[in-house]
Amino acid sequence: MKQKRQQFGSKNWIPLNVSAMGIGIFALGVGAILAPYISRFSVLFIIVGLLAHSWGMYKMHKTQGKTQKALGMQIAYWICWVALIAVLTYMLLKLFT
């Protein structure tokens, strides 16, 4: 049985995003508690998180490419890429300077 993809604007899209945001906030809290023990891996966690987010964002944008996207969604997509590149650049500068 083929599963139906969640589309922007569908009634399940908001709960899906709120769920993802909630687990992200939960993970932030767990990370704060475990910080003394896992801080040496922080750069690795950031890189893995950025890669996973970038892949998901790219795949979502690509699958939505067949339909007309709202201008706001396109702007948010590119702002997110600029922000990710800025964070990565800042991290690399801090790491190697």
How does DSSP assign 29-41, residue by residue?
Answer: HHHHHHHHHHGGG
pLDDT of residue 82: 92
Mean pLDDT of the chain: 79
Q: Give the mean pLDDT of 76-90.
A: 87
pLDDT greater than 80 at residue 31: yes
pLDDT of residue 12: 65
The answer to whether 8 and 64 have CB atoms below 8 angstroms apart is yes
pLDDT greater than 70 at residue 39: yes
pLDDT tens column, 46-69: 888 888 888 887 887 777 765 666
Identify the CA nearest to 73 among candidates 84, 88, 86, 60: 60
DSSP for residue 67: S
H or E element at residue 55:
helix 42-64
Where b means 16+ CB within 10 Å and e means fewer, 54-86 reads eeeeeeebeebeeeeeeeeeeeeeeeeeeeeee
pLDDT band at 21; cut points 50, 70, 90 = confident
- Which of the two residues, 33 and 67, has the higher pLDDT score? 33
